[in-house]
Chains A and B, each alone.
Chain A
Amino acid sequence: MILGKVIGNVVSTIKLPVYQGYKILVVQPVNNKEEPQGESVLALDTVQAGVGDTVLVIDEGNSSRLIMNNSTAPVRTMIVGIVDAIN
């Protein structure tokens, strides 16, 4: 899992049916001081995160498929938590 900050969203009408109903957000990975690090990625949202939120992101397919309860979903990057504080 990585920490990231939501910096925007992506609107898409034509996409694979398994993606229907999920929000796609642009996430900038951050380090432990919440400074940007590396290239931004797109992630499916499952926790109703919004722009400016620091979030917990998984970048691994099997966990994503478990969350979607679909063993063949082509999904890899997913937001699974909103971070309240990093100590």
Chain B
Amino acid sequence: MKLGKVIGNVVCTQKVESFQGIKLLLVQPLNEKLEEIGDPVVACDTAQAGINDIVFYEGGREAALGLKNWFNPSDLTIIGIVDQVNIGE
């Protein structure tokens, strides 16, 4: 799982059938200090996240399992919305 920030959404009419009804969001990966790392990615949403939300997302085969219909080609899925990140010593 990784942290990310929702920076936009992606509208897509023609898509695979198993993605019907799934919201696609543009996510900027973040490190533990919530600083941006790398390039933005597109992720499927399961947590009803919105723009500027800090979220955590899962990649790989597990991303597909996050959606209701598990037989889908997602490789990034937002699992939850982050309330707070505590970094201790």
- B79/A15 in contact, CB under 8 A: yes
| CB within 8 Å: A-B pair count | 92
- Give chain B's interface secondary structure class: mixed
Tell me which residues from 56 to 89 in chain B have a Cβ below 8 Å from any Cβ of chain A: 56, 58-66, 70, 77, 79-89
A40 to chain B, nearest CB (A): 5
Contacts of A39 in B (CB 8 A): 31, 37
Give the interface centre of A43, A61, A72, A74 by most chain B CB atoms within 10 Å.
Answer: A74
Q: Are B88 and A7 in contact (CB under 8 A)?
A: yes
CB–CB A10/B3 < 8 A: yes
Q: Are A74 and B62 in contact (CB under 8 A)?
A: yes
Residues of B participating in the A interface, judged by any CB pair closer than 8 Å: 1-3, 31-32, 37, 46-48, 56, 58-66, 70, 77, 79-89
